[in-house]
Structure 1
Amino acid sequence: MRPPVRAQVGHAHPDRTVGPLTLTDVVRFAGAGGDFNPLHHDPGFVAAAGFPAIVSMGQLQAGMLAGWLSDWVGVEHVREYEIRFIAPVFVGDVLTLGGKVTVIRQQGAERLATIELTAAKGDGSAAVLGRATVVVDG
């Protein structure tokens, strides 16, 4: 187990850019998770539903954001992780994953940081917002 990262309020880990998302990315995730909603693979269905492109499932973005977080702090230090889907993400979108420490508090023997998370689309608009509680060092 690696030691907790050092952090202070306002600290932001470098963003990660992913994409552009491909149909292959979405279909592979659908296969792994068993989500075969036609919005995730059928262009005709997607067009009839009024969307401009194949829709990526929210859990794909949530997983990418969780990966960014755990690469930063170590999965063993994550105590809570919650997300809220704000806007659909489409095949072709580029996402920027990031976050910053907003609160640090002592809880028993652990020093916990709250990290506000975001997955933003190429135009800067939020697709996913989230919050994590992680163990940090002084």
Structure 2
Amino acid sequence: MNPLRAGVEPGTELFTVTTEVDRDRLVRYAGASGDFNPIHYNDRIATEVGLPGVIAHGMLTMGLAASALSDHLGDPGDVLGLATRFTRPVPVPDPGQVQVRISATVRSAEGDVALVDLAVKVQDRAVLGKAQAKVRLH
């Protein structure tokens, strides 16, 4: 059940979660999305184009934020919209994983809709900019 109610105060922190992204997750996402750009699995190609190595798909990173929010709300249908800018790549080491920290804070609420700011960071650096969701209040 959606824990957000009409009258929620701006500045209310809803949650902070951390999720791990490893190379296996990149492969699974590539298969699901059809995005087989080699910068997401081949270090040589990624570095040849100026990246620090293999990077996570931007839409995977945004999807992690959307998933964390819908998990918190309890009903994916309560996420009415989501927008962001991709501001920094998310390098994924091999072996190992990268920790992605996602937090959500209410920006504003009016009627039965709230705007929620999503902060998505890797090593305390934002990887998504102006990430915001419109959610239904109950």
The TM-score normalised by the length of structure 2 is 0.86
Q: Does residue 112 of the first structure (1) align with residue 92 of the second (2)?
A: no
- Residues 68-105 of structure 1: CA distance to partner in whole angstroms, max 9, x if unpaired? 11011221212121121110011143110111001111
8 Å CA contact 1:42, 1:54 repeated in 2: yes
- Residues 47-73 of structure 1: CA distance to partner in whole angstroms, max 9, x if unpaired? 222222211110100110000110112
C-alpha separation between the residues in 2 aligned to 1:114 and 1:59?
20
Q: CA RMSD in A?
A: 1.5
The TM-score normalised by the length of structure 1 is 0.86
C-alpha separation between the residues in 1 aligned to 2:126 and 2:12?
20
8 Å CA contact 1:78, 1:133 repeated in 2: yes
For residue 103 of structure 1, the aligned residue among 87, 108, 122 is 108
C-alpha separation between the residues in 1 aligned to 2:41 and 2:51?
12
8 Å CA contact 2:82, 2:133 repeated in 1: yes
Q: Give the CA deviation at 1:3.
A: 5.0
C-alpha separation between the residues in 2 aligned to 1:23 and 1:78?
28
Unaligned runs of 5+ in 2: none
- Residues 85-128 of structure 1: CA distance to partner in whole angstroms, max 9, x if unpaired? 1100111431101110011112xxxx111101121111x11101
The aligned residue for residue 87 of structure 2 is: 86
C-alpha separation between the residues in 2 aligned to 1:115 and 1:41?
32
Identity percentage of aligned residues: 28
8 Å CA contact 1:4, 1:135 repeated in 2: no
Instruction: Provide the secondary structure at the position in 2 that maps to 1:90.
Output: coil
Q: Aligned pair count?
A: 130
Unaligned runs of 5+ in 1: none
